[in-house]
Amino acid sequence: MSENNEVDFATVQALITTQDVKIHGSELHGVLTGLICAGYSFEDQDYLTMINDMFNNGETLPNKLQVTVKLLFSQVWQNILDDSYSFTLLLPDDEDSLVERAHALGAWVQGFNLGFGLQQKSSAVYSEDVKEVLTDFADIANLSDEIEEDETTEQAYFEISEYVRISALLCFTELGTPPESKEASETVH
């Protein structure tokens, strides 16, 4: 956990590794964000079933991982509803290698597209902006892991990750379903 009581990438990834579940922490966060940005209702609770189906062959996730998924789900809601735009992608720290961070960004975007698609499967009418985001995300998900560890690539990674962050917020603004009342968003834990 980070100093502000939010679950961080290192904690999530370490837990996943010890639980023998085939998922990347960034991908998990991306799936939850994609669901929410595509209109998943705050009141719905079947996201755990979806996560079990996708990443654990329909079996219930180990208890510790279920708790973490619930924390991530709440964290995404809190941050995406925050007027100060505190929403961030769950990615490795800047101290990690650029290759590892780029791989995680690709996994996050793949997860977002998966979650978004699961939620929006029946309604495929999007604005041009959302269509462009989904196309761009598909391209970002397919970026090569063979990258140079240099300042130019570092800058490109920063710009792409910021674009992804802002684009997710745009999708939520257009398609998201905020909780019914302000009080509900404040009680997300």
Q: Which residues contact 163 (CB under 8 A, 6 or more apart)?
A: 136
Domain count, the chain: 1
Parent domain of 55: 9-186
Residue 146 has pLDDT above 80, yes or no: no
- Residue 2 inside a domain? The answer is no
Looking up tokens 């939520």 gives 172
Q: What is the CATH number of the domain that holds 127?
A: 1.20.120.740
Quote the percentage of the chain above a pLDDT of 70: 90
Residues 8-29: pLDDT tens digits? 999 999 999 998 888 999 999 9
- Residue 48 inside a domain? The answer is yes
Residues 161-181: pLDDT tens digits? 999 999 999 999 999 888 875
Q: How far is CA 139 from CA 75, 77, 134, 143, in A?
A: 27, 26, 9, 7
Rounded to whole angstroms, the Cα distance separating 124 from 88 reads 26
Helix (H) / strand (E) element for 48: namely helix 47-55
Task: Please state the pTM of the whole predicted model.
Answer: 0.90
- Residue 3 inside a domain? The answer is no
- Residue 127 inside a domain? The answer is yes
- Res 147: pLDDT: 83
